[in-house]
């Protein structure tokens, strides 16, 4: 591998203990296999499916994660706010309004003399909360961090495909990658935009797939059928690891490769007797 290429592994929303265990068990192997230099991991659902905890954060860091990003569920566990305020390896979306706990981007050192990388966590607004504009927030962070690092990877935690694609076009050539999270379903649209920004609409969930995006099937179906509250219960079975590997050219700050990872693969054929 070229000395000028940074290999970044980006892991999608880790859900609950089964997701955390999957990360603990598998990550070192992936790091070794893909010669990974830096690991970003969305952890907004690590604490029993809803929010974050110091314990979950430590588990991920020990497993080999370098920085944990967040999303709308970051705020579910009030006990995590102290950590969120002070820990430099955990982010929440930058475009939450001023006065919110925590920080939304960080500049981190890469190994092998590859320089620094900026990780920027943003959140969408379509079908979500009316927080600050993610487009303008990105402009501001790019300007702020430019001198420390021109490699920028964005975790865009958003629901609507239109908003994700609009941000990717808006940032094409100005950040190294725009990677979507939040829907818990991996998309198949990985590509490199014309000016060098790698893009994937959603990395998907690292967690239990005998579920509705991580939630026990019965409660999730009942919520739809009756439109009344049904207790959230985190699912546990059929755990998969969802991630994307980015290859960033440190000289140009552009992406030169993007590859989806989903392990183990789903069954797509049924053996016939």
Of 12-20, 196-204, 219-227, 256-264, the window that binds Fe ion (rule: CB under 5 A) is: 12-20
Residue (of 60, 47, 52) closest to 11 by Cα position: 60
Q: Which helix (H) or strand (E) holds 202?
A: none
Smaller CB separation from a second copy, 66 or 80 = 80
Q: In the beta sheet, which residues pair with residue 27?
A: none
Q: Are 39 and 9 in contact (CB under 8 A)?
A: yes
Residue 44 in marked binding region: yes
Fill in the DSSP letter of residue 210.
S
Asked if residue 264 has a cis previous peptide bond (ω within 30° of 0), the answer is: yes
Residue (of 150, 156, 242, 160) closest to 199 by Cα position: 156
Contacted entry of a second copy, Fe ion, none for residue 259, CB cut-off 5 to 8 Å set by kind: a second copy
255 binds a second copy (CB under 8 A): yes
Of residues 148-187, those binding a second copy (CB under 8 A):
159-163, 165-167, 169-170, 183-187
Residue 147 in marked binding region: no
Residue 157 in marked binding region: yes
Give CA–CA dist 244/226, Å, rounded: 37
x/- map, 175-214, Fe ion, by CB under 5 A: -------x--------------------------------
Contacted entry of a second copy, Fe ion, none for residue 113, CB cut-off 5 to 8 Å set by kind: none
User: Closest approach of Cβ 141 to Fe ion, in Å?
Assistant: 20
Give CA–CA dist 137/237, Å, rounded: 38
73 assigned to active site: yes
Catalytic residue among 47, 73, 105, 240: 73
Q: Are 237 and 1 in contact (CB under 8 A)?
A: no
Residue 7 in marked binding region: no
Annotated binding site for Fe cation: 13, 44-45, 72, 157, 182, 184
């Amino acid at each position: 591998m070229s000395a000028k290429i940074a290999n970044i592994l980006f892991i999608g929303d880790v859900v609950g203990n089964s997701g955390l265990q999957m990360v603990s068990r598998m990550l070192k192997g992936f790091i070794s296999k893909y010669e990974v230099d830096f690991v970003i991991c969305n952890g907004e659902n690590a604490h029993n499916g809803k929010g974050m905890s110091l314990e979950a954060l430590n588990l991920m860091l020990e497993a080999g994660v370098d920085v944990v990003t967040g999303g709308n569920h970051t705020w579910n566990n009030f006990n995590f706010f102290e950590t969120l305020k002070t820990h430099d390896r955990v982010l929440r979306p930058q475009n939450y309004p001023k006065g919110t706990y925590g920080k939304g981007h960080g500049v981190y050192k890469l190994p092998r003399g590859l320089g620094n990388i900026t990780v920027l966590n943003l959140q969408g607004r379509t079908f979500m909360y009316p927080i600050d504009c993610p487009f303008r927030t990105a402009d501001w962070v790019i300007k702020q961090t430019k001198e420390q690092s021109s490699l920028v990877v964005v975790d865009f935690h958003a629901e609507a495909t239109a908003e994700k694609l609009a941000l990717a076009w808006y940032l094409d050539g100005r950040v190294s990658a725009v990677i979507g999270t939040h829907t818990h379903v991996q998309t198949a649209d990985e590509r490199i935009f014309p000016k060098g920004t790698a893009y994937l609409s959603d990395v998907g969930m690292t967690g239990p797939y005998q579920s509705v995006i991580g939630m026990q099937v019965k409660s999730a179906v009942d919520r739809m059928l009756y439109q009344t509250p049904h207790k959230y219960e985190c699912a546990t079975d059929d755990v998969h690891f969802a991630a994307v590997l980015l290859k960033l050219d440190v000289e140009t700050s552009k992406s030169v490769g993007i590859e989806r990872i989903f392990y183990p693969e789903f069954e797509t054929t049924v053996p016939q007797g």
